[in-house]
Amino acid sequence: MAQQHQVSPLAPAAFPELPPISGVTLAAAETGIRYKNRPDVLLAVMPAGTTVAGAFTRSKSRSAPVDWCVDSLEGGTARAVVINAGNANAFTGKAGVATVTAVAKAAAKQLGCKPHEIFQASTGVIGEPLDPSFITNALPQLAQQAKPDQWAMAARAIMTTDTFPKAATARVKLGGRTVTINGIAKGSGMIAPDMATMLVFLFTDAAIPAKALQKLLSKAVGKSFNCITVDGDTSTSDTVLLFATGAAGNSTKGLKADGDELKGFAKALNGLCMDLAHQVAKDGEGAEKFIEIAITGAEDDKAAHRIAMSIANSPLVKTAVAGEDANWGRVVMAIGKAGEKAIRDKLKIRIGGITVARNGMRDPAYKEAEIMPHMKGRHIVIEADVGVAKGKARVWTCDLTHAYIDINGSYRS
């Protein structure tokens, strides 16, 4: 049984109000897969013709549901997604394959569609077989009870060690119509680029062809979910799925991912993904502080990203922030170990807008007392210029507190 933990101090003040997405209905049920007295299986149903795009973990030990989704994406259409919390159905061999197959067939029969139009995701403990009957027995009830206004329950149903449900919404004009995008996410630990023990489900009533939708999602993921980290551990189960029902009725003629017609939609999607990504980082297990890291002066953007992640994943940097210690020497260390070009004697570091080091040494004007108010805040900003070229990147993480040990030391108990 997962323990209940105090809500992150970085949590939003309230759950956002998500409007209905035309064609999307949702329902959640308590099945007892692992948790008691809370929903743990979610069904989202979409109309025929819904297009789909996805992004997944790059783990070499990815879960059975991830394999199923990757194969199913080739069809380009979806009718439903089934998600469970409490069991990741990962490293479960042939039993895992049998479970996702059974769930897909049962849901397809319920909805009158093909099994590979049923997408799936699981999150929770790795290595424990998942009995499909927990899910298949609940499907008739879920299909019957699905409604368009169940976003809050849906966001809660997919949580594991999360301390708050995560959601965001956006509206934008497309083809003369107003279209809506809603998103829910879960993620708290095992969070690193190439996504994380993170599940994200995005829904829009826009009509967008699957190929264009995939390009839009891949770009959005690269700027958001692949720029956060909590602990540097990449999960077996990372899944981001974007469904477009087409119910808004906009024209799809000439729609291309890099075309002018989709610029507004792309911007809205990027912003929504960034919002959800930040919420995941802010709910990092035991998090007390949200950390933003900006790198400039790198050889190229990819090098800047690797340097930024080296800082973001450093336990020494993260524990210093937790202790409200402006130990910029740890930032120097993390830059040096990143394996990317950096000119030591041109290095410049700022924390909270205050220059702490430049020209390869401590800034003579730096006074630690000036930076302490920033270190006591909830949002910490670390900037570094490595003096090589014009590459830049920005990533987000959280501090590392003793609560992270408490949560993960008792995760299976």
Q: Which residues are catalytic?
A: 197
Q: Which parts of 287-374 are beta strand (E)?
A: 290-298, 348-351, 354-358, 361-362
* Overall residue count recorded for the chain in this entry: 413
Among 302, 291, 303, 315, residue whose Cα is nearest residue 231? 315
Q: How far is CA 345 from the centre of its chain?
A: 37
Among 305, 235, 281, 317, residue whose Cα is nearest residue 398? 281
Is 197 known to sit in a ligand binding site?
A: yes
In DSSP terms, 355 is beta-bridged to: 350
Is 250 known to sit in a ligand binding site?
A: no
Amino acid letter at 89?
N
Amino acid letter at 98?
A
Q: How far apart are CA 222 and CA 323, in angstroms?
A: 31
Give the sheet arrangement for strand 348-351, strand by strand: 361-362, 354-358, 348-351, 379-385, 290-298, 391-398
In DSSP terms, 379 is beta-bridged to: 290
391-398/354-358 β-pairing: unpaired
199-204/239-244 β-pairing: parallel
Is 285 known to sit in a ligand binding site?
A: yes
Is 252 known to sit in a ligand binding site?
A: no
Q: Which residues belong to the annotated binding site for substrate?
A: 160, 186, 197, 285, 408, 413
